[in-house]
Amino acid sequence: MHVASRFPEQVGRVLQGIVGPHGLITDPGRILPYEADALTTRKGTPLAVVLPDSRDALIEVVRVLHSAGLPFVPRGAGTGLSGGSVARDAVVVTTTRLNRILDLDPEDRTALVEPGVITAAISAAAAPHGLRYLPDPASAAACTIAGNIAMNSGGPHCLKHGVTSDHVLGLEVVLPDGQTAWLGRGADGGLDLAGLFIGSEGTIGLISQARVALSPVAASTRALLGLFDGVGQAGAAVSEVFERGLVPVALELIDRATIEVVEASIFAAGLPTDTEAALVIECEGDPRDVEAELRIAADACLAHGAREVRIARDESERLAIWRARKKAYGALGRAAPDVFVQDAVVPRTELSRVLPEIQRIADVHRLRLANFFHAGDGNLHPNLLFDRRDTEQVARVERAGEEIMRLCVAAGGTITGEHGVGCDKVRYMPLLFGPPELTLMDALHEAFDPAGLANPGKMLPPRHGDVP
């Protein structure tokens, strides 16, 4: 086999000695699931997949790969949306077997976890103490904490509470040469080294342990649904909410195309399909405060022509309001073979201008577009529906994607708010950064990974003269 012949047998034997016979996958048939993450358009065949089951094994695996000069790609649950864990001629190091919560201290409100712990499992373990881990990426039930940390993941409720970086207190990292270090947030008078590591996409090492912050569960959580006859009106209402002094915990927008798909699916949530845009606004805290905040949010919607505002009266109504938003991605999966989701961010007030422009780009390229996203953060998720078997259509998706990126950057925004650069958005990095910034980031990367073994080809564009 071509693949097996490229993975040195000697290294395989050493790795098997560390992780056991079931901890190493070299069989091409069994490697297949590791070819891509949740972004189906980027693929690569790993040389091998290693699944260490202890911290020591993880460190030992990295040391072996480093001395063998083999590039490696860290991987959690493979739910990433930017091709961050795609491995071409590299060994995948999967953390899913390192899934223990090592310590949960309700008084200190911290948890020490292994990298492969499922994000939602931390909140589940903290729940009996009235605590939770706040960041809530859509894939929280499946994704791993180290994957979240590598990408600095967000989620709907990061609007008020902050993204992953705001909830990580310290990291034990395995540098590309196998050395370990505990990195804090600068409380020791040093640099915020954990802050640099968070969002570095596996390019400067792996995470072997993380200490995360836990926060109290809110006394009460309520949501409303605002229905609009125009996306522009909904966008204006988003800004109005903040201008009225409110920072909700979540503020999401769902457009008509999404509503139509959801309502035609088994996830139907009872939204009128002639609605051009719906806002989901959630507030939490003392029930009396939440009541007042919902009133402010409702008024902001009505001030911008909402045709209807539905305030959830109980928990089941709240969950129903969220159903359309949370099941949208799944419903889209039934409407088209493939979905390409973008992750650009624009200043909030640019939403009402940028959204029609994105629609125009999709129209020009004859693509179906569905929007559901974190409007409160200005974090867009335009979804382009396509069929990856149709190469001509894939080419149109790529062109539309690039035009959307250019539009958002020109509006003062950025290319990714929470999914990461991965291998998918590397080509857009020069839209954001000039040569001096790219050169400095290269130098920073090289200081950690002089041999270029850690997740090669991700996040940073190839250096001048490098083979792409």
Task: State the number of binding residues for other proteins (CB under 8 A).
Answer: 83
Subset of residues 303 to 322 that bind other proteins, contact rule: CB under 8 A: none
What residues between 71 and 110 interact with other proteins by CB under 8 A? 105, 107-110
Is residue 190 involved in binding other proteins (CB under 8 A)?
Answer: yes
Q: Please, which residue, 3 or 444, has the CB nearer to other proteins?
A: 444
| From 94-102, 317-325, 354-362, 374-382, span contacting other proteins (CB under 8 A) | 374-382
For the CB of residue 368, give the shortest distance to other proteins in the complex, in Å.
26
Q: Does residue number 299 form part of the binding site for other proteins (CB under 8 A)?
A: no
Give min distance, CB of 440 to other proteins, in A.
6
Residue 47 DSSP code: S
416 CB-near residues (< 8 Å, 6+ apart): 82, 343, 344, 345, 425
Enumerate residues 6+ apart whose C-beta is below 8 A from 130.
Answer: 216, 217
Distance of alpha carbon 39 from alpha carbon 312, whole angstroms: 34
Q: Tell me the Ramachandran region of residue 357: left when phi exceeds 0, alpha when psi lies from -120 to 50, beta otherwise.
A: alpha
Which residue, chain included where needed, has tokens 């995470």?
Answer: 207
For the bound state, the minimum distance from the C-beta of residue 60 to other proteins, rounded and expressed in Å, comes to: 18
Work out how close the CB of 438 gets to other proteins at its nearest, in angstroms, rounded to a whole number.
Answer: 8
Cβ at position 166, least distance to other proteins in Å = 6
* Residue 32 sits in the site that holds other proteins (CB under 8 A): no
Question: Residue 354 Cβ, how far from other proteins at the closest point, in Å?
Answer: 12
Distance in Å, CB of 210 to other proteins, minimum: 15
Q: Does 246 help bind other proteins (rule: CB under 8 A)?
A: yes
Distance CA 117, CA 98 (A): 7
The one among 36, 51, 65, 198 contacting other proteins by CB under 8 A: 198
20 vs 368: CA distance, rounded Å: 47
Q: Would you give the DSSP letter of residue 401?
A: H
Q: Is the C-alpha dihedral spanning 455, 199, 414, 390 positive or negative?
A: positive
Q: Is 441 in the site for other proteins (CB under 8 A)?
A: yes
Instruction: Name residues contacting other proteins, limited to 340-369 (CB under 8 A).
Output: 345-349
Distance in Å, CB of 9 to other proteins, minimum: 34
Binding mask 140-159 for other proteins (x = CB under 8 A): -----------xx-x---xx
Instruction: Determine the 3-state secondary structure of 179 from DSSP.
Output: coil
Q: Which is nearer to other proteins, 7 or 197 (CB)?
A: 197
- C-alpha 41, offset from chain centre: 17
Question: What are the beta bridge partners of residue 172?
Answer: 182, 209
The strand pair at 131-132 and 48-50 is best described as: unpaired
Cβ atoms of 423 and 468 within 8 Å: the answer is: no
Q: 117 or 183: whose CB is closer to other proteins?
A: 183
Q: Provide CB contacts within 8 A for 384, sequence distance 6+.
A: 339, 340, 341, 342, 362, 367, 368, 369, 397, 400, 401
Q: How far apart are CA 51 and CA 465, in angstroms?
A: 34
Among 114, 293, 338, 449, binds other proteins (CB under 8 A): 293
User: For residues 17 and 75, is the Cβ–Cβ distance under 8 A?
Assistant: no
How far apart CA 354 and CA 277 sit, in angstroms, is 15
Could you say which DSSP state residue 138 is in?
T
For the record, the structure tokens of 347 come out as 């200043």
Binding residue for other proteins, selected from 94, 95, 96, 165, defined by CB under 8 A: 165
- Shortest Cβ 369–other proteins spacing (Å): 21
Near other proteins by CB under 8 A: residue from 21, 29, 245, 465 = 245
**Could you tell me if 415 and 431 are in contact, meaning their C-beta atoms sit under 8 angstroms apart?**
yes
Residues with Cβ within 8 Å of 400's Cβ and at least 6 positions away in sequence, in order, are 361, 362, 364, 365, 367, 384
Q: Which residue has the tokens 């098997």?
A: 16
Site for other proteins in 110-129 (CB under 8 A): 110
- Minimum CB separation of residue 365 from other proteins in Å reads 24
In three-state secondary structure terms, 373 is strand
Residues 442-461 that bind other proteins (CB under 8 A): 443-445, 447-448, 459-460
Judged by beta carbon, residue 101 or residue 444, the one nearer other proteins is 444
From candidates 21, 29, 128, 189, binder to other proteins by CB under 8 A = 189
Which one of residues 243, 363, 390, 466 is an interface residue with other proteins (CB under 8 A)?
Answer: 243
Element housing 150 (H / E): helix 145-151
245 or 468, CB closer to other proteins?
245
Considering only residues 401 to 440 of the shown chain, the ones binding other proteins according to CB under 8 A are: 412-421, 425, 429, 432-434, 436-437, 440
* Residue 235 found at the interface with other proteins (CB under 8 A): no
**Closest distance to other proteins from the beta carbon of 4 (Å):** 36
Of positions 74, 156, 378, 457, contacts other proteins by CB under 8 A: 378
